[in-house]
Amino acid sequence: MKLQVLLTGNELMAGDTIDSNSSMIAELITDYGWRIDKKVTVGDDLKLLEQQIRDLAADCDVLIINGGLGPTVDDMTSLALANTTGNPIAEHPDALAHLSQWCEQKGFRLNASNLKQTLLPAGASIIANARGSAVGIRMNIGNCLVLATPGVPSELKAMMTNEIIPLLAAQFSSDYIKTQRLAVFGLGESSIQERVNKHYPDWPDDVELGFRASMPVLEVKLTTRGQDASKKIDEWRGKIIDLIDDHLLGDMPLNLAQSVIAAAKQHKLSICTAESCTGGRIAAELTGVAGSSEVFPGGIVSYSNALKQQLLGVSESSLNTDGAVSKSVVKQMAEGALNTVGADLVIAVTGIAGPDGGSEDKPVGTVWLAWGSRENLKIEKFFLPVDRHLFQTLVTALGLDLIRRHILSITGLPELMTRRRA
């Protein structure tokens, strides 16, 4: 099946709205062995929309049009389909029944703007929308099945899952495209590619190797097709995992916090945090994972020196002699958090995020991390000379990965950070 996607909306062209819908479509069809062949985005321009519908429909089996089915003047998909096919636009009884029921449930009154959503090209069928006011449109243009959907992500997802994918599955067989995505931290794409080139110079042409850098986790993607796609993916997945080694977090979708929570649960260990320069971001990442309360009782954000003393027991002499960003202070922060919270493990961090506050011996980007248990507390100094937001992102990610490695008894630092040791 050759499937293409047409996205419409000035908000997409202007960057006011980030396109997540095409990614959602791609993800939802993956398990069926399909993939998007082409994606086009256009603004709210009727003539341009008509032209793209004609061109794409002539070149694919299925065209999904996303957006432009609402009640306002910039919603043009239905009219564009009517003009493209030469069918008059008219009120569709099923669309009217759906809209009337939706308005009644929501306590809204039908008006002329709402009724615009019932105007469909003659001969078109509706696609049920369980979540919104606008039905989808189903029709054929030549040999192409055209499926138009609203742009609201929650509505699109429900329509894809409940209506569109079952419809496609009934008409099209699998293309046997298999994709495997792996989550990696601390190893760059160039390093992985070098390892592949060294160990597998005969990498097969029918197994695509791709990378997607999405700070702080790198996605490594393997794709192949054919009747033996699953077997082939499993084989090369194993080889890639051997190369990635302890930098592998697991299968996507997965982030660092999820991998830490899973490891802590598996080993029945609790974790606490003591944060300064990250301002609670490590704790926020951990608590963003459902079920984290089983292993994360809490953390302490001690941004000022006074709170480092009051909440974590950091000595005034260490703060005066060594400074807040020092080995002695991060050690006391870690010990203080363990004593206060009573957890098994700790992540503690203090650093200079910038853009001000640095000195000759402690430039902006300097950070001390402590992680581990009372009996096995590890401490390292790193230098990350990046902007403030990225600094906090990297330090948060590094802290999470270091405690993950500790829980899993992985020795050594992530490769990318060995060059950042200060």
CA atoms within 13 A of residue 28's CA, in its CB half-sphere: 20
Treating both helix axes as pointing N-terminal to C-terminal, what angle do 388-407 and 256-266 enclose, rounded to 10 degrees?
20
Q: How confident is the model at residue 24 (pLDDT cuts 50, 70, 90)?
A: very high
**pLDDT recorded at residue 236:** 96
Instruction: Name the residue with tokens 């991998």.
Output: 259
Average pLDDT, stretch 248-254?
95
Nearest to 352 by CA among 378, 321, 377, 384: 384
Helix axes 229-244, 189-199, angle to 10 degrees: 110
Contact 136, 159 (CB under 8 A): yes
Which residues constitute the domain of residue 126? 3-171
Residues 86 and 191 in one domain: no
Residue 215: pLDDT band by 50, 70, 90 thresholds?
Answer: confident
**Whether residue 134 is found in the same domain as residue 181:** no
Name the helix (H) or strand (E) containing 308.
Answer: helix 305-312
Residues 108 and 242 in one domain: no
Both 233 and 264 in one domain: the answer is no
Give me the torsion for CA of 355, 359, 361, 367, rounded to 10°: -30
Average pLDDT, the chain: 96
Cβ-based neighbours of 258, under 8 Å, separated by 6 or more:
289
Considering the domain architecture, whether residues 333 and 394 belong to the same structural domain is answered as: yes
pLDDT of residue 152: 95
Rounded average pLDDT over 276-305: 98
Domain count across the chain: 3
- 127, 66 contact by CB (below 8 A): no
Q: What is the pLDDT of residue 285?
A: 98
- What residues form DSSP beta bridges with 181? 221
Same domain, 299 and 387: yes
Residue holding tokens 């699109």? 156
- Cα–Cα nearest to 110, from 71, 155, 149: 71
In terms of domains, do 91 and 110 share one?
yes
Q: Does 18 share its domain with 100?
A: yes
Domain shared by 218 and 333, yes or no: no
Task: Please give the pLDDT value at position 141.
Answer: 97
C-alpha to C-alpha distance for 313 and 374, rounded to whole angstroms: 15
240 with 264, same domain: the answer is: no
Domain boundary among 251, 277, 306: 251
Alpha carbon distance 9, 16 (integer Å): 10
What is the band of 420 on the pLDDT scale with cuts at 50, 70, 90? confident
Q: Which of 203-217, 280-294, 310-324, 385-399 is the least confident region?
A: 203-217
* Judgement on whether residues 263 and 238 belong to the same structural domain of the protein: no
> Region 330-342: what's the mean pLDDT?
98
Q: Indicate the residue among 208, 224, 251 that finishes a domain.
A: 251
296 contacts 285 by C-beta, under 8 angstroms: no
- Residue 213: pLDDT above 90? no
The enclosing domain of 274 has a CATH number of 3.90.950.20
The residue among 251, 266, 289 that closes a domain is 251
CATH number at residue 231: 3.30.70.2860
Q: Are residues 127 and 209 in the same domain?
A: no
109-125 pLDDT, tens digit per residue, is: 888 888 999 999 999 99
Decide: 266 and 250 in contact? Cβ < 8 Å: no
Neighbours of 339 (CB within 10 A): 14
